[in-house]
Amino acid sequence: ETGVTQTPRHLVMGMTNKKSLKCEQHLGHNAMYWYKQSAKKPLELMFVYNFKEQTENNSVPSRFSPECPNSSHLFLHLHTLQPEDSALYLCASSQALAGVVLGEQYFGPGTRLTVT
């Protein structure tokens, strides 16, 4: 058990649907992350939040919208996705200071998303 939970674990959605992914960390960390993992590609960082403030947006399309209401919860709101957005979406948390990740990032189990 990593201390980072994600729901749902699997999601199938049509291109016109709106859905949200949820992440919760129980580790007292101050930074949370969304990553996308597609087949045969490296993990791609999407968003970073530090103390609830978005500090990084890696040129992610606006059909992905993050929300961080507090330092323990992170959401990824999805709307009008494309089939190429099908992937494993991983949430992670860590301690961070002055732009440096301290120690390791702890990952949640991921949400496997299929867009039809």
- Helix, coil or strand: residue 26: coil
Residue 108 found at the interface with other proteins (CB under 8 A): yes
Options 11, 50, 74, 87; binder of other proteins; rule CB under 8 A: 50
Residue 33 found at the interface with other proteins (CB under 8 A): yes
What proportions of the chain, in percent to the nearest 5, are helix, strand and coil? 5, 65, 35
Options 48, 76, 87, 115; binder of other proteins; rule CB under 8 A: 48
Residue 17 or 106 with smaller CB distance to other proteins: 106
The residues with which 98 forms a beta bridge, in sequence order, are none
CA distance 6 to 92: 10
Binding site for other proteins (CB under 8 A): 2, 31, 33, 40-43, 45, 48, 50, 55-56, 58, 90, 96, 98-101, 104-105, 107-110
